[in-house]
Amino acid sequence: NAGVTQTPKFRILKIGQSMTLQCTQDMNHNYMYWYRQDPGMGLKLIYYSVGAGITDKGEVPNGYNVSRSTTEDFPLRLELAAPSQTSVYFCASSPGTGFSYEQYFGPGTRLTVT
Amino acid sequence: DQQVKQNSPSLSVQEGRISILNCDYTNSMFDYFLWYKKYPAEGPTFLISISSIKDKNEDGRFTVFLNKSAKHLSLHIVPSQPGDSAVYFCAASLTGNQFYFGTGTSLTVIP
């Protein structure tokens, strides 16, 4: 099993550009999450999904969009990139409530907006 | 508004000794707590968890203690090993859907 994979690993965007961060898991987990980690800070939840077709906002959703058309994939869309979105982005998955709250994380995408 | 706080950014411990990492939270309704370990340029990896109905959970060298009245949890690593050197995050959840992470404590185990 590959676990949680994220692409790309690194990306530099210009202000105003858009991009999609890809996330795929092969563990058949119902729950998936997107976090961002700024330097010296903890992880902040952007969006999460409890199953295909269901998404909900986390702590810091502004400037981002998500979709969940399949169990495996949970892409994060940045529209009109801003310097404040410079961060490391982590995708995670979890079996979900009733099974385990343990989250499995991908290796992260380091995004710079200049 | 940081709901989960790790007030020690760093900790150094001699190999073989006990490492104690602390975490405080503000929301008394949190009902599940986890510790993650993170190496540079990697995603966090799950270490150990505890639900609010317990006050202690052990897994090998790792023990998590929960003091609900003080809204405090701690992670004990005994004995500490050089491979334990990493950043440790605590996280708390209210519903199992949303998780709030602390800012992390960087542990260095000195051989």
CA-based radius of gyration for chain B: 13
Kindly report, residue by residue over A15-34, the tens digit of the pLDDT.
999 999 999 999 999 999 99
From the list A50, A90, A103, the residue facing B46 with the nearest CB is: A103
Q: Is the pLDDT of residue A36 over 90?
A: yes
Q: Is the pLDDT of residue A99 over 80?
A: no
Structure confidence at residue B92 (pLDDT): 94
Structure confidence at residue A102 (pLDDT): 87
Instruction: Give, rounded to a whole angstrom, the gap between the first and last alpha carbons of chain B.
Output: 38
Q: Is the pLDDT of residue A98 over 70?
A: no
Q: Enter the tokens of residue A50.
A: 């409890």
Residue of chain B whose Cα is closest to the Cα of A100: B96
Please give the biggest Cα pair distance in chain A. 43
* Distance, CA of B40 to CA of A88 (rounded, Å): 12
Count Cβ–Cβ pairs < 8 Å, chain A vs chain B.
Answer: 64
Determine, for residues A31 and B97 on separate chains, whether the beta-carbon distance falls below 8 Å: yes
Determine, for residues B46 and A31 on separate chains, whether the beta-carbon distance falls below 8 Å: no
Cβ-Cβ contacts under 8 Å, A47 against chain B:
none
Kindly report, residue by residue over A42-90, the tens digit of the pLDDT.
899 999 999 999 999 999 999 999 999 999 999 999 989 999 999 999 9
Backbone phi, psi, residue A27, to 5°: -105, 5
Q: pLDDT band at residue B2, thresholds of 50, 70 and 90?
A: confident
Q: What is the mean pLDDT of residues B56-76?
A: 97
Structure confidence at residue A100 (pLDDT): 64
Q: Is the pLDDT of residue B33 over 80?
A: yes
CB-CB contact of A50 with A96 (8 Å): yes
Structure confidence at residue A4 (pLDDT): 97
Higher pLDDT among residues A58 and B96, named by residue: A58
Determine, for residues A50 and B97 on separate chains, whether the beta-carbon distance falls below 8 Å: yes
Count of residues in chain A: 114
Structure confidence at residue A97 (pLDDT): 63
